[in-house]
Structure 1
């Protein structure tokens, strides 16, 4: 599992962000975009008070999506015809006005969202769940991180563990994640943590989600700042109490042992005899990058296990090699996707194990050839 910040570093960054983050609700007619050399400034006019912020990459994508401008063309205008991009954005902001929420951090527009977006923020979430984690016997936070788009807290229960096979032990855990910028729900997901290589497998079954959708904010003002104390209304306190209950019950012994039994069964499900072809199908199906598919192939071959279990472990092990923490977590979720897949009529797996035995010698030759390629031997 990829390591991020210590929990103390996470708390310090959340406190820092609380001091500098700002949110506005505004009619788009109060907004003007000006782009120079690929950098776009957004100016907000609030009854004569003018403030200017820089649009970050996500805000660009959200504006393009909202205005139904294909992002490839949007990016081309941004770099080659910035005045044309500004004309498009400002024109549609005025011709089809609507109220939008702007989320600002460190002088940047980090999100361009609906006025129905419910702010379930990272600091409030951490304040709600960290005391519950501290109350849980044998619980340990093994990894945490805050990125531009997400916060993650990964927890294991050191006493709730089982052997998948002799000497191959997994522990129960959970992943708590949230996005403040519209890229996903607040999630509490089961985790299987493999001790032998410190891989994290995020289990798709039994995951709990809370969505950032609320009532439309009523106001006659054309533009105004939203203050964080509004998010601490009674209904939000009740919401976070539900999240606390979800965390308390997320590490469930019965569900954990059911997942372990299902994981053992994956050892009997086989991929094809050619690991290169298997990873190629996986990469094409899930849009993996060249580096990601190379890392998965390397770990798949080194593991010398062409079962479904071996492929899952190759994917989750490769997650540790990925520089971006959010993408590493995506690969841990991909391991969970594979875990949940039925082998029936799936290109990644074969339904006749005897076919694997027949091709065993061929498979060994492929593994030797690929080992030479990946090690440079």
Structure 2
């Protein structure tokens, strides 16, 4: 299966990949009775070809055999999870069948597709060379399409129209989401009370001073894994650690009206109205998040919890690791960054999380940068002798 994950890429690389994907993208509303799983692949079948569907597939670049009327799609991991969920097949059982008994998986999926007739929104990439397509999402027929490239172009135009100096720090593209991190290099505040004791792991004291830069992150999922979201994101200049403040996010749900079988595109009017709304949201985000007043208020709030020295620093890291469902290896990695950072305050503990976030895959990075703010706000619940079960941590 072709590469679909790209980490820490620049704007040019992101646009190039999104344009390439747009040329291969094909969306269909299909009845469950037209779908099967064969040898672990999703097969779009129709023993009595419907003329409209036949023409639709042919015009979209999918080669259709006049004999079998079957087209095969390799399935991404995230799409497998959606098939499991939509058909009510327990996830652990489904994954075991994927690894150990594909024939049983074929039977289970095909049987439930036929027993539970419904229309599904299948998002795919086609292979213009005649190979298997890629099934990237298996969604409700009410899913509202808000695609990455449209959002990116709309956001860049909204930023251009603002008076703020905003640059793209980096971007990620995964099977599940697109992430674009923006920073405002002129909106910086010094936070010595938070960063006085912090050292970049394996580095030196803060050569960049105590600066914290304002910015925001734009995220979107084309495959049903999250809403379109804009959220403020602070970046510590010394180490480029990021913290995402979800409480002030702006979000747009991917839920629209029910679509008919075979339809795969919105009208241009509907699309333009949606993008106009997104443009307004980005403008609101730029005005709200990229101000010295907003940044100062956030840093003041963080100082209330972040400057206190932890009474149980090592145990706090263990409790944090437990709450984040870390493996033993990941927990030790976090502890190592905490020790290297040399800051035993609550903010120091959180910086070890956000430093680790830069080393992991993009979806996990987003989760860790988001969790870091919640952990700081509840740091007193982690600063205790180590517990063995997550339920023992009383969180707000």
In the alignment, what sits opposite 1:336? 373
In the alignment, what sits opposite 2:353? 315
Higher strand proportion: 1
The CA distance in 2 between the partners of 1:19 and 1:12, in whole Å, is 11
* Cα distance, 1:230 vs structure 2: 5.4
Per-residue CA shift, 1:245-293, capped at 9, x if unaligned? 3333242423221101112223333433341x22221111111233432
In the alignment, what sits opposite 1:76? 96
Contact 2:155-2:279 at 8 Å conserved across structures: no
Contact 2:154-2:279 at 8 Å conserved across structures: yes
Per-residue CA shift, 1:214-253, capped at 9, x if unaligned? 1112x3xxx4151365585353244323333333324242
Contact 1:156-1:172 at 8 Å conserved across structures: yes
The CA distance in 2 between the partners of 1:87 and 1:309, in whole Å, is 52
In the alignment, what sits opposite 1:47? 50
> CA separation of 1:332/1:138 partners in 2, compared to 1, >3 Å: closer, same or farther?
same
- CA-atom RMSD in angstroms: 2.2
Question: TM-score normalized by structure 2?
Answer: 0.79
> CA separation of 1:79/1:267 partners in 2, compared to 1, >3 Å: closer, same or farther?
closer
In the alignment, what sits opposite 1:123? 149
* Cα distance, 1:186 vs structure 2: 0.7
Query: Which range moves more in the overlay, 4-13 or 204-213?
Result: 204-213
In the alignment, what sits opposite 2:172? 145
Contact 1:203-1:339 at 8 Å conserved across structures: no
In the alignment, what sits opposite 1:327? 364
2:255 to 213, 220, 228: 213
1:190 to 210, 228, 232: 232
Contact 1:174-1:189 at 8 Å conserved across structures: yes
The CA distance in 1 between the partners of 2:98 and 2:337, in whole Å, is 40
In the alignment, what sits opposite 2:199? none
Q: How does 1:1-377 map to 2 (within 5 A)?
A: 4-35=8-39, 39-45=40-46, 47=50, 49=54, 50=69, 51-106=71-126, 107-136=133-162, 137-165=164-192, 167-217=209-259, 219=260, 223-227=261-265, 232-253=270-291, 254-275=293-314, 277-322=315-360, 324-341=361-378, 343=380, 346-348=381-383
* Cα distance, 1:119 vs structure 2: 0.6
Contact 2:180-2:217 at 8 Å conserved across structures: yes
The CA distance in 2 between the partners of 1:81 and 1:321, in whole Å, is 34
Question: TM-score normalized by structure 1?
Answer: 0.83
> CA separation of 1:349/1:174 partners in 2, compared to 1, >3 Å: closer, same or farther?
farther
